[in-house]
Every structure is written in structure tokens, then in C-alpha cells.
């Protein structure tokens, strides 16, 4: 396993920042009439791709890009594989749990003891209290008090949860893993594969191909006997999420391999060739496995989005790591360094805004005006994450 990987790479941080910014933007624009269709998600029955359909795959790809750097940093600090394994599992479980809670927000009942707005605010505040990366100079007693308050608040909100309908009420239950839950599952499996393969490129490529094949076979119907059990195999998303993350792993380690062998120019050949292969494969299987569809995790969607991610990373790598143009994205950089904070801030803003009963001006509710409003909102969330980061309020798991 190479020990030359840098702990932080500008291209990855900036790629993550742009992706997080776009994730906030496309989530906010959902349901606004009169905006260009190519920005939004393609319909569930549509054979096509919108900007919103590319954002989540890009984030999973970036998770894969980041795994080698994070694990190498821990190995360089002398941590054992056992300790790193514990870190990977705990981090994954936290992401899965937060995703599970977010999924339950979607089925929250109007007849619950407290309104959804209050419940959402309290749950999000508990996440902050528990998982803030408290500065080292903070008193341990204060940290224990704040984290204990967060745990108590979270337990109370779990106890008060009520979902379903008045006729068929439910408590916290599984419907789907949520965005963060899917990321957690993909991270868990891919990080463990990287750690215990010692970053061996052949093993990582084999894992990537295996996830692609699993996704293909699932849609062709050959693995129907696994229906309903793939989640227990860590393959939530029918292998698609792991395929995106493992592709990032492969690209990150491939780049390191070319650099160690003093063949930096060949990385561009590899990126272009892989993208061309994946684009062609994606359009070929499009006609046999449900078209291009994010809603159905189709192989065509997986392959085409992976090709786009690879090319996009090549662009970021060229301008950020080689041309040193980080200042181009300085305005949204906090989205790449305080990513989880940035993701969770809207879960505070939306319910607080709904409680004020202040409506948006008419021009901001549709069309170009709505588009501008969503862009401004994304900038606002990133700016707030930056302010909190400077005040040492940053979520870290």
C-alpha cells in the first residue's frame, strides 16, 4: 500500500464543494414550476438524465476518491487496521442512522405529539450537539454535558415520533436508507475492501466490476432470489451505490500508481479511455435494462454517470492540482471542508422558515426567479457553513 497519498487533495475538496453546492441547489429547486427540465430529476418513467440525477453519483464517487487519503493518513499516524476498522464501522453506522431518521421525516404524521417542524429542528440540533468536532481546548466536562444533552434530546425525539396515518400509526420504521444511509452503506463496504486489500489496484478493479455486474444482473432478473436481502449484504441500492464509490477508489489509486511509476501523462489516457468505455457500455445496456433511470438505479445510469464523474474529476485535477486555481471556487470552499454541516443546515432552515409564515415574493416562486432564489439559497447555506467552521462549529464523524 502506498504511503505517498496526500491527506488533502485540492481537486477532491473542490469537486466535493461543487457537488455539495449543487446538491443543495437541486434539492431546493425540486417542485418549482417553470425551470428548465434538464436541471431537475428526470421522471421515474423517463429514459433520460437531468443535472439532479448526476449529483448524488458524483458525491458517492468523491467518497471513493477520498477513502485512500483518509485511511493512509490514519496508517501514517500509526493506527492499526483494527482501530481503523472500528472507525469505518462507527462512521458508517452514524451515517446510516442519520439517513434512517431523515427517511422517517417523510412519513411523519400530522397527529404526532409535536409538529414536524419542531421535531425536525430538535433532531438536527441533537446531531450537531453529538457530532460537532469540539476544539481541543474545550473542557472535557463541557463536551460530555453537550453530547449528553444531544443524546437525551435525540432519545426524546425518537420517543415522540409518530408516523403513518391516524388509522394506522407507526413508530420509527424502515422505508429506505435515506441519502446519508446509502452513502454509509457504500462507504462501509468500499473502505473495508480498500483497507484489507492494502489498496491493491487489481482487487479494487475486481470489486468495481463485481458491483457493476451485480447491478446488471439485478436488473436482468438473474438475481431475483436476492430480492429483499441485498441490503443485508451491504448492497443497498442494488450495487449501484457501491459501484460509484468503488470507481472513485480505482481512479484515486490509479492516479497514485501512475505518479509512483513516473508516468503522470498516462493518467489522462486512462481517464479518457475509461470514460469512453463506460459511455458506450451505458448506451448499449440502455436498451436492455430499463433505460437511463436514477429512480430505478439502472446500469445505464450507473455507467454514464460514472463516465461523467471521471471526466469531471480530470478537469478538477487539471485546474486545481496542476494549475493551482483553487481561488476560482473560494466562495463555496466550505461545502468541501464542512460538508456534513452544509448538508444538515437546510434541515434547520426549512422548518424555521415554515414557522415564520413569511412567503417568498412572487417572482421567486417560479421560472428564472425561482432559479435565482435556489442559487442564492445554496450560497447562503455554504456561507453559513463557512461562518460556523470559522467559529469551530463543524460536524465530523
| DSSP state string for 42-83 | PPTT-----HHHHHHHHHHHHHHHHHHHHHHHHHHTT--HHH
Q: Where are the alpha helices (DSSP H) in 177-265?
A: 178-196, 201-220, 240-260
Q: What's the confidence (pLDDT) of residue 256?
A: 87
pLDDT at 1: 40
CB neighbours of residue 70 within 10 Å: 20
- C-alpha cell read off for 96: 446510516
Percent of the chain residues topping a pLDDT of 90? 67
- Please answer whether residues 304 and 54 qualify as being in contact, where contact means their C-beta atoms are separated by less than 8 angstroms: no
Q: Could you give the percent of the chain with pLDDT greater than 70? A: 94
Q: Can you give the pLDDT at residue 246?
A: 97
CA 172 → CA 71, 169, 279, 384, distances in Å? 34, 10, 41, 31
pLDDT attached to residue 46 = 84
Instruction: Give 10-residue mean pLDDT values along the chain (397 residues).
Output: 54 94 94 87 84 95 96 94 96 96 94 94 97 90 96 97 89 92 94 95 95 84 56 65 96 89 86 95 87 89 96 92 87 93 95 86 87 95 95 87
pLDDT of residue 364: 81
| Helix residue ranges per DSSP H, the chain | 10-29, 51-76, 81-105, 116-131, 140-160, 178-196, 201-220, 240-260, 266-285, 299-316, 334-337, 339-344, 346-356, 367-390
| Cβ contact 181:99 at 8 Å | yes
Predicted confidence at residue 10, as pLDDT, reads 87
d(CA 369, CA 360): 11
pLDDT at 135: 87
State residue 166's pLDDT score: 82
Query: Cα(first)–Cα(last) distance of the chain, in Å?
Result: 25
pLDDT reported for residue 222: 65
Sign of the Cα pseudo-torsion (206, 207, 211, 212, in order): negative
CA distance 61 to 306: 8
3 state DSSP class of 106: coil
Q: Contact, 313 vs 15, CB < 8 A?
A: yes
pLDDT in tens, 192-208: 999 999 999 999 999 99
pLDDT in tens, 49-107: 999 999 999 999 999 999 999 999 999 999 999 999 999 999 999 999 999 999 999 99
List, in order, residues 6 or more apart from 326 with CB less than 8 Å away. Answer: 10, 14, 320, 333
Please tell me what DSSP assigns to residue 323.
Answer: S
CA distances from residue 295 to 48, 182, 219 in whole angstroms, order as listed: 11, 14, 13
User: Cα–chain-centroid distance for residue 306?
Assistant: 14
Instruction: Give the integer Cα–Cα distance in Å for 129 and 160.
Output: 19
Encode pLDDT of 141-163 as tens digits. Answer: 999 999 999 999 999 999 999 99
Instruction: Using alpha carbons, list the distances in angstroms from residue 4 to 11, 69, 84, 202, 227.
Output: 16, 9, 18, 19, 42
Amino acid at each position: 500500500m502506498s504511503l505517498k497519498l496526500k491527506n488533502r487533495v485540492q481537486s477532491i475538496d473542490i469537486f466535493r464543494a461543487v457537488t455539495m453546492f449543487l446538491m443543495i441547489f437541486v434539492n431546493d429547486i425540486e417542485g418549482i414550476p417553470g425551470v428548465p427540465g434538464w436541471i431537475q430529476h428526470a421522471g421515474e418513467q423517463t429514459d433520460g438524465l437531468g443535472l439532479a440525477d448526476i449529483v448524488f453519483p458524483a458525491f458517492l464517487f468523491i467518497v471513493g476518491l477520498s477513502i485512500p487519503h483518509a485511511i493512509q493518513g490514519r496508517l501514517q499516524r500509526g493506527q492499526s487496521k483494527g482501530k481503523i476498522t472500528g472507525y469505518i464501522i462507527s462512521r458508517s453506522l452514524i451515517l446510516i442512522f442519520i439517513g434512517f431518521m431523515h427517511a422517517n421525516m417523510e412519513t411523519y404524521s400530522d397527529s404526532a405529539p409535536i409538529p414536524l417542524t419542531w421535531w425536525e429542528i430538535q433532531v438536527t440540533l441533537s446531531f450537531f450537539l453529538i457530532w460537532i468536532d469540539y476544539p481541543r481546548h474545550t473542557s472535557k466536562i463541557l463536551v460530555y454535558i453537550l453530547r449528553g444533552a444531544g443524546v437525551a434530546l435525540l432519545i426524546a425525539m425518537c420517543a415522540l415520533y409518530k408516523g403513518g396515518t391516524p388509522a394506522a400509526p407507526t413508530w420509527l420504521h424502515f422505508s429506505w436508507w435515506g441519502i446519508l444511509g446509502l452513502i454509509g452503506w457504500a462507504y462501509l463496504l468500499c473502505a473495508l475492501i480498500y483497507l484489507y486489500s492494502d489498496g491493491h489496484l487489481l482487487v479494487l478493479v475486481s470489486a468495481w466490476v463485481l458491483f457493476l455486474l451485480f447491478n446488471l444482473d439485478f436488473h436482468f432478473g438473474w438475481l431475483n432470489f436476492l430480492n429483499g436481502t441485498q441490503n443485508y449484504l451491504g448492497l443497498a441500492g442494488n450495487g449501484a451505490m457501491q459501484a460509484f464509490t468503488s470507481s472513485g477508489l480505482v481512479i484515486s489509486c490509479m492516479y497514485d500508481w501512475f505518479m509512483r511509476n513516473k508516468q503522470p501523462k498516462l493518467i489522462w489516457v486512462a481517464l479518457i479511455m475509461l470514460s469512453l468505455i463506460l459511455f458506450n457500455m451505458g448506451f448499449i445496456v440502455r436498451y436492455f435494462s430499463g433505460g437511463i433511470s436514477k429512480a430505478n438505479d439502472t446500469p445505464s445510469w450507473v455507467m454514464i454517470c460514472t463516465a461523467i464523474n471521471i471526466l469531471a474529476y480530470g478537469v478538477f485535477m487539471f485546474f486545481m492540482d496542476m494549475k493551482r486555481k483553487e481561488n476560482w471556487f473560494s466562495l463555496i470552499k466550505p461545502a468541501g471542508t464542512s460538508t456534513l454541516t452544509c448538508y444538515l443546515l437546510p434541515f434547520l432552515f426549512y422548518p424555521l422558515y415554515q414557522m415564520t409564515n413569511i412567503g417568498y415574493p412572487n417572482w421567486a416562486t417560479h421560472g428564472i426567479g425561482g432559479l435565482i432564489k435556489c442559487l442564492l439559497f445554496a450560497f447562503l447555506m455554504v456561507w453559513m457553513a463557512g461562518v460556523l467552521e470559522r467559529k469551530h462549529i463543524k460536524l465530523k464523524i
